[in-house]
Amino acid sequence: MNVIDMTKNAKGVFVKASTAIGTGLISLQAAAQDAGGIDTTAVETSINAAKGQGLTVGGYVVAAVAAFAVVGVIIMMVRKI
């Protein structure tokens, strides 16, 4: 198999893959349009509640890291004395 044949083969593989991806995206879009009648308020409420909990936990993590940094600086200052 020479380089030209390999290039043609690779081109065919990419064309087949892109066609499959395009078909899948069109199917996904059609499914999303069909699902337009679904009530998403419960999902949005759950996402917002989880987002609030994530922000709370993130705040605690940042506070803990800052506290460890301050403790580390204090320990370094005490060692120099």
What tens digit of pLDDT does each residue of 19-44 get? 666 666 666 666 666 556 666 788 78
Residue 74 has pLDDT above 80, yes or no: yes
Give the chain's domain count. 1
Mean model confidence pLDDT for the chain: 74
27 residue type, one letter: S
- What is the model's pLDDT at position 53? 84
CA distances from 43 to 6, 49, 52, 57 (A): 49, 10, 14, 21
CA distances from 10 to 14, 21, 42, 55, 63 (A): 6, 16, 46, 47, 53
Q: Quote the pTM value.
A: 0.44
| DSSP code at position 38 | S
The residue among 45 and 68 whose pLDDT is bigger is 68
Q: Residues with Cβ < 8 Å from 1, sequence gap 6 or more?
A: 9
- What is the model's pLDDT at position 44? 82
The DSSP H or E segment spanning 37 is: none
Domain that holds residue 22: 3-80
